[in-house]
Amino acid sequence: MRILYIEDEKLLAEAVIHLLNKSDIMVDWVSDGETGLELALKSNYDCIVLDIMLPKLSGIDILKTIRDRRIKTPVIMLSALGEVDDKVRGLEQGADDYLGKPFKAAELIARINALCRRPPLQATKIYTFGDLTFDANNRTLNGQALTSKEADLMEILIKNPNQVHKKSALLAYIWGNEAITEDNYVEVYISYLRKKLRELKSSVQIKSLRGLGYKLIEKQNV
Amino acid sequence: MRILYIEDEKLLAEAVIHLLNKSDIMVDWVSDGETGLELALKSNYDCIVLDIMLPKLSGIDILKTIRDRRIKTPVIMLSALGEVDDKVRGLEQGADDYLGKPFKAAELIARINALCRRPPLQATKIYTFGDLTFDANNRTLNGQALTSKEADLMEILIKNPNQVHKKSALLAYIWGNEAITEDNYVEVYISYLRKKLRELKSSVQIKSLRGLGYKLIEKQNV
DNA sequence: ACTTTTCTTAAAAAATCTTAAAAAGATTCA
DNA sequence: TGAATCTTTTTAAGATTTTTTAAGAAAAGT
């Protein structure tokens, strides 16, 4: 999602942009009305967040112009609390929502999401191999819950089954290459996973290759 | 829509009422401050239009009293043009809008409509999952009132049940990650919600995924 | 047979979760 | 205004689960 944010207070803008980015909202920020209007007319945003007090061209004027041009992008107006006339004029002019300053970023995010009707999306990360289904979001293996480290390990193995994963690579990936020399971490968790595979009576197993590493295979294969 | 109109100039009032009625706005008119205040406190209007110069009790006093009583009905103040002090005082006291006399009825109608227009966010937001019904407008869960933080949390969970919500995400969403590092807030409120779910004897429960977050599930599921 | 590597497990340590309850802050009502 | 009540924030003491550690058993290679 991409929004246009027209705001002249630099510090506020930076803070807000940072938080919006964290919520997967890309922000184009401009600090004066003229540039803002130009972008609003030219580009295709999912939403426009518009401060009312702006240099060169007021938020109300921008709103009026884009609505005159039949651009229906949702607009959220911002203004200092108490500037009642602005609020009224904004809504009359076709703003979709209004937020008084100061506001919580969380509320702005909620309103942007509400206006854009974007269901908070989460990529489904589900992998299968043989009779195994690993759900990386829920950290379950055929429904059975895994701990985080177990899940980390299973995710690597099942993403590339039938392929050897070096112990050092697994270690680096899961424990972060903090100069840990303890291969035993990996061995312990491989052991835990094997136990769970046995419990599930899976046809899949973890094969170890001495001196090399591990790979996920189906029992009949070698 | 029904409004209260407090105005001592009979001729003006009659003209205005006539025009408002034409726009489907029902008007209760009183001509003195005391009666006006009484009605404002007792009845439930969509909006109050309040002249400042009134016999017995001034508009400002009325406004102050009803705001002290936490009545949030939108108020539009009227006063002779140029009485800037009145305007300022009115807005300070919590008026939502201000109109100088003489005014055009059309403008008053526009402002009444603007103030009473429900922001698009408040469209009925009712979510259900299992035997739960959460009303995000009233912030009730199966009729039981939730506090605002509880409601924030429940709203996220029930919007996407059976899906893991990371603790950091919940924190960011509800507390607006303002440098708060206390994950414990989320834990505390999860605990409150669980207690209420128990009280409701709901078949829905909040499952925690250690190190990940929480999700709403039906008891039989895993 | 001997060395090295890997496997398994128990239990210690650390991290995380759950609750209760105190403290602080708001709101309501007389 | 001030007492009473409700809500939110903070703190903290267990529970519970996960991770780490460590040591002996098993397997593989030479």
D29 C1': nearest CA residue: A210
* Dist. CA A146–CA A138, nearest whole Å: 9
Query: How confident is the model at residue A221, as a pLDDT?
Result: 47
Confidence label for A147 from pLDDT (cuts 50, 70 and 90): very high
B145 and B111 fall within a common domain: no
Tally of domains in chain A: 2
B30 and B107 fall within a common domain: yes
Burial of B78 (C-beta count, 10 Å sphere; 0-12/13-18/19+) = buried
Query: How confident is the model at residue A87, as a pLDDT?
Result: 60
> Hey, of B50, B103, B109, B163, which one would you mutate to test binding to chain A, going by the most A CBs within 10 A of its CB?
B163
A96 touches B120 (CB < 8 A): yes
CATH of the domain at A173: 1.10.10.10
B6 and B113 fall within a common domain: yes
B16 and B33 fall within a common domain: yes
Q: What is the arithmetic mean of pLDDT over A28-54?
A: 89
The answer to whether residue A84 sits within a structural domain is yes
Query: How confident is the model at residue A118, as a pLDDT?
Result: 53
Integer angstrom CA distances of residue B10 from A181, B82, B83, B100, B173: 91, 22, 21, 18, 52
More confident residue, B171 or A106: B171
And the tokens for A157?
């193995």
Q: What is the arithmetic mean of pLDDT over A80-101?
A: 65
More confident residue, B178 or B165: B165
CA pseudo-torsion sign B110, B112, B115, B118: negative
Query: How confident is the model at residue B121, as a pLDDT?
Result: 36
Q: Report protein residues in contact with nucleic acid strand C, where contact means CB under 7 Å.
A: A 167, 183-184, 187-188, 190-192, 194-195, 208, 210-212; B 70, 167, 183-184, 187-188, 190-191, 194-195, 208-212, 214
- How many other β-carbons are positioned within 10 Å of the β-carbon of residue B163? 16
Query: How confident is the model at residue B98, as a pLDDT?
Result: 77
- Encode pLDDT of A170-218 as tens digits: 998 898 766 566 789 999 999 999 999 999 999 999 999 998 999 999 9
A104 and A132 fall within a common domain: no
The overall average pLDDT reported for chain A is 84
A56 and A87 fall within a common domain: yes
Q: What share of chain A has pLDDT > 70, as a percent?
A: 83
Q: What is the arithmetic mean of pLDDT over A102-113?
A: 73
B210 touches A147 (CB < 8 A): yes
B55 has a pLDDT exceeding 50: yes
The answer to whether residue A121 sits within a structural domain is no
A69 has a pLDDT exceeding 70: yes
Nearest CB partner across the interface for A88, out of B111, B121, B174: B111
More confident residue, B198 or A82: B198
> Hey, of B50, B178, B185, which one would you mutate to test binding to chain A, going by the most A CBs within 10 A of its CB?
B178
- Encode pLDDT of A120-137 as tens digits: 456 678 999 999 999 999
Contacting residues of B for A76, CB less than 8 Å apart: none
A26 and A79 fall within a common domain: yes
Minimum distance, in Å, between the CA of residue A29 and any CA atom of chain B: 20
- In terms of Cα–Cα distance, which of B18, B81, B77 is closest to A88? B77
Contacting residues of B for A12, CB less than 8 Å apart: none
The CA–C1' separation of A209 and C6, in angstroms, is 10
**Residue where a domain terminates, one of A63, A84, A116:** A116
A143 and A169 fall within a common domain: yes
A57 and A149 fall within a common domain: no
Tell me the residue range of the domain where B189 lies: 126-218
A61 has a pLDDT exceeding 80: yes
Minimum distance, in Å, between the CA of residue A96 and any CA atom of chain B: 7
Q: How far is CA B99 from the centre of its chain?
A: 23
**Residue where a domain terminates, one of A116, A141, A158:** A116
- In terms of Cα–Cα distance, which of A68, B149, A62 is closest to A78? A62
A92 and A133 fall within a common domain: no
Cα nearest neighbour of A24 on chain B: B169
Q: What is the arithmetic mean of pLDDT over A42-62?
A: 87
**Chain B contacts in chain A segment 81-140 (CB below 8 A):** 82, 84-85, 87-88, 91-92, 96-98, 104-107, 109-111, 114-115, 119-120, 122, 137-140
Query: How confident is the model at residue A213, as a pLDDT?
Result: 93
Query: Among B161-165, B169-173, B176-180, B205-209, which is the least confidently predicted range?
Result: B176-180
- Encode pLDDT of B118-160 as tens digits: 443 344 578 899 999 998 877 899 988 899 889 989 998 998 8
Query: How confident is the model at residue B222, as a pLDDT?
Result: 38
Query: How confident is the model at residue A81, as a pLDDT?
Result: 52
Query: How confident is the model at residue A78, as a pLDDT?
Result: 84
The answer to whether residue A159 sits within a structural domain is yes
* Dist. CA A94–CA A76, nearest whole Å: 10
Confidence label for B67 from pLDDT (cuts 50, 70 and 90): confident
More confident residue, A209 or B55: A209
Q: Could you give the angle at which helices B10-22 and B105-116 cross, rounded to 10 degrees?
A: 60
Q: What share of chain A has pLDDT > 90, as a percent?
A: 39
**Residue where a domain terminates, one of B55, B84, B117:** B117
The answer to whether residue A145 sits within a structural domain is yes
Strand partners, A6: A30, A50
